[in-house]
Amino acid sequence: MNFETLLDFAGRHAMLSMALVGLTIALIYMEVARLFRSYKALRPAALTALINRENALVVDLSSTAEFEKGHIPGSKNVQPSQFDPENKQLANAKSLPVVAVCRTGQASAAAAKRLKQAGFEQVYWLDGGIAAWQQADLPLVKGR
């Protein structure tokens, strides 16, 4: 394939070409944004090391029912609707590593951003959430 063939294809399939350019720009933007965000993603093995070495506070944003089905040992359950970085339970941990966790990793990323904006120094989120924790064959605790 040469450049002329590529230009000919782009001329005949303008919508596909524009979609490819749009997706490429979106991917580049997402990767650059990931590099510059103020909180860090953790994989399950890194989280266990952080808990063991630095006594990290793990904040689980799962619903009460999901939390009781299984959660990371030592984690504290905070309902997403009641999540507040100024909460007394969280405010005392501003200098400690704080890790936001949820079932899939989506809600915890937003919570990590809020924690960082509230002045927490060491903020992390579990990339992939509890699902990634389970895939790594790490233990979950049932009940409250």
pTM of model > 0.95: no
pLDDT at residue number 35? 65
Q: pLDDT band at residue 34, thresholds of 50, 70 and 90? A: low
Domain boundaries, the chain: 3-35, 38-135
- Name residue 42's beta-bridge partners: 126
Query: What is the mean predicted confidence (pLDDT) over 64-88?
Result: 87
3-state DSSP assignment of residue 58: strand
Least confident of 32-36, 68-72, 105-109: 32-36
- Architecture category of domain 38-135 in CATH: 3-Layer(aba) Sandwich (3.40)
H or E element that contains 13:
none
Residue-wise pLDDT tens digits, 77-129: 988 778 888 877 777 778 889 999 998 888 888 888 888 888 888 999 998 99
Q: Contact, 113 vs 99, CB < 8 A?
A: no
